[in-house]
Every structure is written in structure tokens, then in C-alpha cells.
Amino acid sequence: MIQIKSLQKSYSGNVVLNIPELTIEKGEIFGLVGNNGAGKTTLFSLILDLIKASKGEAIINNIEVSKSEEWKGFTSAYLDESFTIGYLKPEEYFNLIGDLHNMTKQDISLFLDRFKELFNNQVLNSQKLIRDLSKGNQKKTGVAGAFMGSPEVIILDEPFANLDPSSQFILRKIIKSFASEYGTTFLISSHNLDNITDVCNRIVILEEGIIVKDVEKRENTLAELENFFTGAIKNADV
């Protein structure tokens, strides 16, 4: 579904991302973790052709993203607030995105019903512009918009950030529900190891732009990740 081949990104000669090879299969819920500056957002931006690679290529469904726009018809993302339109109300934003996906008013209404619990009466009918919502409700609006039209690929950068614990749990349920119902391929980054190990069936750790661990989820994955980031694994190797 998604292939990375000899992908590099450099700034002023400094290599910030270097991934020789990576394949993400259709239907995977792929998790990406790493400390600040590890290259998570850079990787997502390259896959979405938001920045130009210094070397190599990103391919979605056999389409090289930098050479064609065909992949955009079945790929969606929310990386930050720039992916929404701040001067619109949430309802206006969802209607706009729905129109782009040829969704009827009824389709949009039924879709938003699935996010009612996440919105918690704070997003719709608030009469606020998106830019005037709290950071958490801006995040909910943008993430929900990325699900519209049932895309084959959804890329979410830190979707749990700024959400309260209840909302994080609800979003986890929504992600797993869409993956099960539609076979959606998800790429999700997060600093929250609990959330990432709950929703993802495969997790990659990036460190200084390099993949240092690639594991299928199993019973002890959370402990394994915690040990990595607390330095227990490194210390054991000394």
C-alpha cells in the first residue's frame, strides 16, 4: 500500500530523515513514535508530498506521490491546524469537505453522528469559528474531517494531543472501528505510548531520522517501548 524507498530529507547538508526501505501494508494501523525532532512529522510530510525529498521516493498504491496527484483521491490527513479552515464554523467545514467527497446532506449527518460522543456537544452548534474553539476541539474537528469520504489511507500526526482522557479513549474506539469496517490504512504518530499500543498493530520507533525498532504489537509491547524510552534497554546493552 505504502512504500518508502531510499527516502532522505536534508537541510543545509544535515540529514534529518534517512529511511532506506519501509513498507506499510493495506489495512495496517501503523504507529510511529519518537522523541521531539526524531523525524515523525517530516516522514508524514514527505509521504503527503508537502515537502520535497532530498533523495528517494514515497509511493502510495503504486503511485509515486511527487509525480502524480492520483493518490490524493483516496488519501486523507490531519497534521496540524493548517489542515482546517479557521474562519469557517465546524458545520461549514464539514459540509465543504463532504461536498468534495460527493456526500449528501444526509451522508454528512450520518457521518457526524459517529463523532457525536467525541464532540461532546462542544463542536457542532457552538456558533464558534474553528479558530475560536479550544485546542482540543480544533483537533477533534480536523481529525473528524480526515475521516470523511472513507479514504483508503488516513495519516494523523499526534491526534491525541490536547484531548482529555475521555476523548482519547473515544478516538481510539473510532480509529479501530473504521479500520475494522472499511479496512482503512492508518499512519498515526503519538507521544502517548498507551494510545499508540492500543490502536496500532505495528509500531516503529524513529530516532534522529532513522528507524531503530519495528515491532508487531504483542502482549509486552507497551513495556518494551517504555523500556526503550527510559533507557533500560540501552543500559542493559552496556
- CA-to-CA distance for 131 and 110, rounded, in angstroms? 25
Q: pLDDT tens digit string along 17-35?
A: 999 999 999 999 999 999 9
Contacts for 39 with CB less than 8 Å, ≥ 6 apart = 9, 16, 17, 206, 208, 209, 210
- Nearest CA to 199 among 169, 154, 161, 167? 169
Quote the pLDDT of residue 132: 96
- CA-to-CA distance for 119 and 112, rounded, in angstroms? 9
Length of the chain: 238
pTM for this predicted structure: 0.93
Quote the pLDDT of residue 234: 55
Give 114-117 contacts, CB < 8 A, sequence gap 24+. Answer: 114/174, 114/177, 115/140, 115/144, 115/147, 115/174, 117/170
* Average pLDDT of the residues in 23-49: 95
Kindly state the helix (H) or strand (E) to which residue 105 belongs, with its residue range: helix 105-113
pLDDT at 238 over 60: no
Quote the pLDDT of residue 237: 52
Quote the pLDDT of residue 27: 93
Percent with pLDDT over 70 in the chain = 97
- DSSP letter for 20, please: E
Q: pLDDT tens digit string along 167-184?
A: 999 999 999 999 999 999
> Per-residue b/e over 57-81, b at no fewer than 16 CB within 10 Å?
ebbbeebebeeeeebeeebbbbbeb
Of 137-146, 216-225, 229-238, where does mean pLDDT reach its minimum? 229-238
- Given the DSSP bridges, would you call strands 185-189 and 153-157 parallel, antiparallel or unpaired? parallel
Residue 122 CB neighbour total at 10 angstroms: 16
* End-to-end C-alpha distance for the chain, whole angstroms: 38
User: What homologous superfamily does CATH list for 2-237?
Assistant: P-loop containing nucleotide triphosphate hydrolases (3.40.50.300)
